[in-house]
Amino acid sequence: MSALAPEQALAKAADAGIHCLRIPTPFAVGRVNCYLLEDEPLTLIDTGPNSGKALDELQSQLAERGHSIEDLELVIVTHQHIDHLGLVEIVVQRSGAEVAALGIATERLANFDEDAEAEDRFAVELMLRNGIPEEVTVALRSVSRSFRGWGSHVTVTRPLADGEEIVFRDRTLRALHRPGHSPSDTVFWDEERRILIAADHLIAHISSNPLLARPLDGSPGRPKALVTYLESMRKTREMPAEIVLSGHGEPIVDHVGLIDDRFAQHERRKEKIFKLIAERPRSGYELAQALWGNVAVTQAFLTLSEVIGHADLLVHEGRIAEVEDGETIRYEAVGPDTSNDGGG
């Protein structure tokens, strides 16, 4: 475990030429952490959303470091969410910077509007199949469409393979694919300094949501986002990182302890969901309502992703089954109640 406090971790990262730029977003998560690498090439990791306020603050915070947008030579995109990539197009137009991102995500990033529409169709179909009323899906789709202006097309000029190194003058970063929160989540590992730039793969103050999303390779079927995310966290747990720089909030200085806490949280939630299903068969929406009440309406897709993710774990363990009930999927218990009373 690192002995550093979060503010010491930020200072140590800054001494290594990695500076946190906290850029405002219009979303409940608050500011997004972008990272300026003062190296050759001069690099920005994530940009913030496409808004005048975000652009003004990005320019201002770069100026505090003696730089401008026009000075940037490389932009690295960690994943496909709009609070992280919305200003990429503007930054590239003004700087001529190269854009690096996970290679298998390049087509999706380039076709932002079409991809967002396809993602919405996927989400609506999934919500309807899991018992969410149609009027709720209509409202959520309208909200989703209103958010698209915060995003941007991203033309990737430097596609990265999982495990590929980016060599700078003073450091080497290794790109590591860590899907789960999104299919394209990529972390960047500075092995020499034991610093991991993790974006939303790990966040100290909130658990990264394993959001259900279409597979990057276009394969059919529903991905198992939480199963994937737990496996990604297991890989990250084994890394000898001293500092993990997150996409939101403060740096993480004990990633092993945090990941173990997250494993325990998911275990408790899984058992809570099993108890509800053991009482009687329920749809994903009914489970979300039992757990979160009205939040299951206002944040229907988010809570459904949580429920389905944990149900996938129970299906894998052979304790529940997905059952077709007309047009709705319900979960029913098929195995013994081997849970312990943990709370969630």
Residue 16 has pLDDT above 70, yes or no: yes
User: Which residue bears the tokens 């970063």?
Assistant: 173
The pLDDT of residue 343 is 40
What does the alpha-carbon distance between residue 63 and residue 174 come to, in Å, rounded to a whole number?
A: 28
Instruction: Name the fold adopted by 6-111+153-253.
Output: Metallo-beta-lactamase; Chain A (3.60.15)
What does the alpha-carbon distance between residue 95 and residue 70 come to, in Å, rounded to a whole number?
A: 4
Nearest to 98, CA basis, from 52, 161, 182, 166: 166
**Average pLDDT estimate for 321-328:** 90
Which CATH number, 3.40.50.20, 3.90.1150.10, 1.10.10.10, 3.40.50.620, labels domain 273-333? Answer: 1.10.10.10
The pLDDT of residue 337 is 54
The pLDDT of residue 336 is 57
Residue spans of alpha helices (H) in 30-168: 52-64, 82-85, 88-95, 106-110, 112-129, 134-147
Per domain, the residue ranges of the chain are 6-111+153-253, 273-333
The pLDDT of residue 2 is 46
| 282 neighbors 325 (Cβ within 8 angstroms) | no
**Average pLDDT estimate for 241-255:** 97
Query: Could you read off the pLDDT of 28-50 as tens digits, one per residue?
Result: 889 999 999 999 999 999 999 99
Residue 341 has pLDDT above 80, yes or no: no
Query: Could you read off the pLDDT of 60-92 as tens digits, one per residue?
Result: 999 999 999 999 999 999 999 999 999 999 999
Residue 254 has pLDDT above 90, yes or no: yes
